[in-house]
Structure 1
Amino acid sequence: MMEWGDWELREWSSALAARSLGFGLLGGESGPDEWASRLLEDRSLAGLVSEIEAEAARMLGEPEPELTDELFRMFAETGDRLAYEKVYFARRKRLCAFGVMSWLRPEEEAYRDSLHRTAWSICNEFTWCLPAHYGEKRGRFGNIDLFAAETGFALAELSALLGDRLDAELRAQIGMEMERRLFEPFLEQGPYPWERLENNWSSVCAGSIGAAALYGIRDTDRLVRVLERVHVSMACFLAGYGEDGACVEGYGYWQYGFGYYAYYSDLLKRATGGAIDGFAIPKVKGIALFQQRCFSCGDMVVNFSDSPQRSGIFMGLTLRLRDEFPEVALPEAALRAPFAADHCGRWAPAVRNLIWAAEARGALLAKASELRKAAGDTETSAHVGWPTEAHFMTDAAWLMSRYVAEDGSVYSFAAKGGHNGESHNHNDCGHFLLHADGEVYLADLGSGMYTKQYFGPERYTFWCNGSQGHSLPIVRGQLQQEGAEHRAVVTKVLLSDVEDELGLELSGAYPKGAGLLGLERSFQWRKTDGPSLVLVDRFTMAEAPLDALRQDEPIVERFITLLEPKRVEEGVLMLEGGHRLYISYHPEAWRPVITTRSDLNHAGEERHWYTLDFVPLAEGAVGGREEAAFQFSFQKK
């Protein structure tokens, strides 16, 4: 099988030497002006172009945001990341919007003038690295982190795309900044820790440096030195995925990390005339298919790990992947990510959402129209593009099951095994979700606000990261523990048209002090017009007390929901949204306790939700076998 290490870059030095500026972003015979006209005339892109233009026009009236030493110091002094990052990313948004509009609307001098001011301002930043990643200083500009690398990529590509529309002095400055902030430290001060990480860092950092080098390094031997290191990182990135293609970091990090893998691979494939093709590695196809396997309905995500609950889709990336792999699903056009949704203002995905979508020649709209017609619906249907299907991703131990009923309602169940030492890990072995028609009934909180503490020793005190904030048992006061040794064991998987089953052994995810000899969790997802889930937990406890075992602590069954549980009758609670989810339990054995909770989401905004705890009414024998059974049944209102 083809792997990154199979390509000897020096064999392709002649192909690399023949590349020209602008080779990769546009390709073909058309130049920037012809491409700009094509994009403006493409009706399927009119909405996205209007969004970018509106953002650029709004920012024309705003002063250039200023990064200060005071903002930079806040992370070290208080752990706060948002104050500095808000200004940092506002500058990147300006670079992106003004860059696109300077290309598409060259007659509008205000865009070009503002682009020059923003680009000069970024070139003059004392570091492109975020305070949270500054770490060990390597040279006068600090570390190369995700965003330093992205910034270099963006400036390099902008310079190649706009050419003479940028002042010669600015283009020269961009070249110098790439050299002293990226290429020289990468070659002379590395290796960097991220070069061999098996997560998004390796692809984003290395892919951005490699892309910038393809544009900015004219010496072929020196370029090869850079790309050889980049290829090692790309191999490490792919090693972080199993053969099932699942991204255990969550969908947002798939979009991010695999996106930059694709941006770089596409540029290199074009630069070498197809001789080096990162899409040809067999594992890549499975990764490309992950997107359609982790949406439950519409823009609702199966959001295990540090993932948002909802996400727009990068249509350019999706269509480019579909060019390589016809099995990639074309989602409904309405699911396109708005330009403003990327708070980081990243150039690479934004411009490709235009160019790669245009290269698809309207296939997205044609497919969406075809699917709507087949469904007998002239309006956007929530399930168009996401059909009934079930997948068990073996390496990650994720089960995703989506059922589209005859009336068009969409119901989804997802559960995970895995281990508690994953990248962007949550202690969540055995956790599960229930969604219906774009609403969350049993929830994953996703990612919280990123702070110094969030990625430090206090990580699992945060609700969204520790098992206390997941739909999991609390055993004698003990929570699941972090570390790859704390894991689930898959005991059963059965997928069919009418029913899916998953069995997990979870005792290994808990500390020995919990006194667990066994914890078998089974899910039975019955797919009918009123789908239901039967959850059974079987606990086998130690016969003799352990030192860390507190006899007065009961086993608590916890569930996480965004909807307030309401009592219907004895033994039945209800979560009410567009549908009703009834929760049935044995009232003689369990007492429900409902508690309102809150924390901060990824944007630093307060969010409210509920823990639904079932506490046993009578304590069983410590050495015995205890069982908890619950049924979750959907009914349409």
Structure 2
Amino acid sequence: MPAHNQNIHVYPLPDVDEPIVDLFAAETAAQLAWIAYLHREALDKVSPVIVRRIHDEIQRRILRPCQQRTDFWWMGYSGGALNNWTPWIVSNWLNCLLLVEEDQLLRAAMVRKAVAVLDRFLDKHPADGGCDEGPGYWGRAAASVFDCLELLYLASNGAINVFDEPLIKKLGEYFVKVHIADDWMVNFADAAARVSASRTLLYGFGQRVDSPELRQMGLWAGRQPVDATPHIASTLRFLSGLFTFNEPYQAAKTVVQAPYLRYAWLDVIEVLTARDQAGSSDGLFLAAKGGHNAESHNHNDIGSFIVYADGRPLIVDAGVDTYSKKTFSGQRYELWAMQSAYHSLLPVLDGVQQLPGGRFRAGDVQAADSAEESSLSLDIAGAYPREAKIASWRRSITLVRGRGVRVIDDFVLREPVKTITLRLLTPALVTTVAPGSFQLRTQALPKAGAAADGTLSMSPALPMTTESLPMIPQGNLNKIWGDALQAMVFTWEAPPQQGRLEVWIRPA
């Protein structure tokens, strides 16, 4: 039974006469197609019915619906937004076509249709290669694009080859640009802060698009203590590791560092990453974002940022907890992790926060980089409704290399407000040293992780309290942060209509 019931009759339960091609119907079909292909002889010894039944079910549940219909939203015929569903399902559709469909003319026609669907995804994709769903979903967005292209390349003996297209290379290199250290990743939107890197996927992608950084990251991933198997294991990726891209396994005992890029700017999704020095996770790492509040798996987080020190989390984005009924409903923004109030220093003015929607976006976005510093500046006023009374709120987030991260907010309000509340999330232990001065000390995190040490100073010195954050027991957030994550809550009573807030975050 598919998890996503979208039948045309709007029945409350799935209709057996109307198969829905969703993520896991397609994924299951591709797994079964490979099982039947690789183990046909053994299965036939048990019963010749098994493989025939597998093929019949794949035809009924996947191939015929994909042939006959154009109204599955992920196909893009209606012109709406597309996300990881499209390349992920298309990759499994192609697996089934190549392994199961025996009619050569029909197979060719359906491969053409699948490629056209994939083209719609690529046509809508940000030209900078950025994945606004975050690096966790990259494994089923850009990485599934690679799966599709690899299948077409292998099945055509290299005749279908678009790996030299600039966008394809950018899709792969996004993962390198948002890597912090170990398995810590930049986790804006519904992204986990820790993501395993598939060694063969990264290396193979790098080989095909000729990216030294991707190849290097694949070799580095092969050295990591945790096996870099995708969370949802695709047979094609396993086979690629065994037969096509096995260099990461051969080089498993070679010392290889991750690329650790010094600076990257994704100018379409408006995400900046920067670190103190290239080639090392030592020192500070900054990621900051602009964008809009209608991104795929959106959080209301325009103007937010994260800071890591020596590869460990200091100021963080919580990410997303285990999905629930609310997550993809009209109640989504009742969940605290989706709200701007729980993203780095995004102001709440008399209870008014940022709102979701494409018209709520950053203005006058500028990124800059030099040997001494990297910065993102933007006006976040456009992310708020008129009730927030903001005329302008100019934020500048700067990594000053060798010194710290500086955040300066210059704001003008149309009318006075009673209170501005701002939060910073940290997994570190917080101690108040003096008004406006705080020490952040390391503590243990799950999976052998640890928070970073650092200091924070604020001018003016706003009163600070701490707030514990509710998490689902044994849920996704708890597995990453344990009981350590808390919010530093700053309260500005009777703020001026025009003012400045300056914050410094420094390593210990």
Same fold? TM cut 0.5: yes
Aligned to 1:335: 224
Matched, 1:627 2:503: no
The within-5 A match list for 1:287-302 is 287-302=171-186
Among candidates 470, 487, 506, match of residue 598 of structure 1: 470
Cα 1:226–1:485 change in 2 (3 A) is: same
- Contact (CA 8 Å) 1:314, 1:353: kept in 2 or not? no
Matched, 1:261 2:145: yes
Aligned to 1:310: 194
Among candidates 463, 487, 495, match of residue 361 of structure 2: 487
Matched, 1:468 2:341: yes
Task: Between 457-466 and 259-268, report the one with greater CA deviation.
Answer: 259-268
Among candidates 341, 345, 357, match of residue 245 of structure 2: 357
Cα 1:392–1:483 change in 2 (3 A) is: same
- Contact (CA 8 Å) 2:426, 2:486: kept in 1 or not? yes
How many Å separate the matches in 2 of 1:287 and 1:414?
19
- Contact (CA 8 Å) 2:200, 2:241: kept in 1 or not? yes
- Letter of the structure 2 residue corresponding to residue 573 of structure 1: F
- Contact (CA 8 Å) 2:129, 2:170: kept in 1 or not? yes
Aligned to 2:58: 178
- Letter of the structure 1 residue corresponding to residue 161 of structure 2: D
Q: Give TM-score scaled by structure 1 length.
A: 0.71
- Letter of the structure 1 residue corresponding to residue 490 of structure 2: F
Q: By how many angstroms is 1:595 displaced?
A: 1.3
The within-5 A match list for 1:36-435 is 127=1, 129-130=2-3, 136=10, 137=14, 139-140=16-17, 142-167=19-44, 168-196=48-76, 197-327=81-211, 328-329=213-214, 330-331=216-217, 332=220, 333-335=222-224, 338=227, 342=231, 344-358=232-246, 360=247, 364-365=251-252, 368-369=254-255, 371=256, 384-404=257-277, 409-435=282-308
Q: By how many angstroms is 1:272 displaced?
A: 1.6
Q: By how many angstroms is 1:187 displaced?
A: 1.6
Deviation readout 1:514-558 (Å, 9 max, x if unpaired): 001101010121111xx4011111111114x7xxxxx43x11222
Cα 1:249–1:240 change in 2 (3 A) is: farther
SS at match of 2:108: helix
Root mean square deviation of aligned Cα: 2.5
Aligned to 2:448: none
Aligned to 1:560: 425
Q: By how many angstroms is 1:201 displaced?
A: 0.6
Q: By how many angstroms is 1:241 displaced?
A: 2.4
Aligned to 2:435: 570
SS at match of 2:64: helix
- Contact (CA 8 Å) 1:297, 1:386: kept in 2 or not? no
Aligned to 2:489: 613
- Contact (CA 8 Å) 1:198, 1:238: kept in 2 or not? no
Q: Which runs of 5+ in 2 are unaligned?
A: 443-450
Among candidates 380, 384, 401, match of residue 527 of structure 1: 401
How many Å separate the matches in 2 of 1:408 and 1:514?
39
How many Å separate the matches in 1 of 2:67 and 2:15?
12
How many Å separate the matches in 2 of 1:505 and 1:357?
45
Aligned to 1:376: none
Q: Give TM-score scaled by structure 2 length.
A: 0.88
User: What is the identity percentage for the equivalent residue pairs of Structure 1 and Structure 2?
Assistant: 24
- Letter of the structure 1 residue corresponding to residue 489 of structure 2: D
- Letter of the structure 2 residue corresponding to residue 154 of structure 1: Q
Cα 1:132–1:625 change in 2 (3 A) is: farther
Q: By how many angstroms is 1:166 displaced?
A: 2.4
How many Å separate the matches in 1 of 2:147 and 2:279?
40
Q: By how many angstroms is 1:355 displaced?
A: 3.6
SS at match of 1:454: coil
Q: How many residues align?
A: 479
Aligned to 1:582: 455
Q: By how many angstroms is 1:346 displaced?
A: 4.1
How many Å separate the matches in 1 of 2:323 and 2:196?
21
Deviation readout 1:425-453 (Å, 9 max, x if unpaired): 11100110001233211111112211221
- Contact (CA 8 Å) 1:313, 1:336: kept in 2 or not? no
Among candidates 292, 301, 317, match of residue 444 of structure 1: 317
- Letter of the structure 1 residue corresponding to residue 276 of structure 2: Y
Matched, 1:537 2:414: no
How many Å separate the matches in 2 of 1:260 and 1:540?
45
SS at match of 2:352: coil
How many Å separate the matches in 2 of 1:405 and 1:276?
36
Cα 1:341–1:220 change in 2 (3 A) is: closer
Task: Between 480-489 and 323-332, report the one with greater CA deviation.
Answer: 323-332
Q: By how many angstroms is 1:134 displaced?
A: 7.4
Deviation readout 1:601-629 (Å, 9 max, x if unpaired): 75485854211122125x244xx312111
- Contact (CA 8 Å) 1:134, 1:143: kept in 2 or not? yes
Aligned to 1:504: 378
- Contact (CA 8 Å) 1:339, 1:350: kept in 2 or not? no
How many Å separate the matches in 1 of 2:286 and 2:145?
30
How many Å separate the matches in 1 of 2:410 and 2:126?
30
Which has more helix, going by share of residues? 1
Cα 1:523–1:400 change in 2 (3 A) is: same
SS at match of 2:133: coil
Cα 1:483–1:336 change in 2 (3 A) is: farther
- Contact (CA 8 Å) 2:352, 2:387: kept in 1 or not? yes
- Contact (CA 8 Å) 2:196, 2:229: kept in 1 or not? no
Task: Between 285-294 and 557-566, report the one with greater CA deviation.
Answer: 557-566
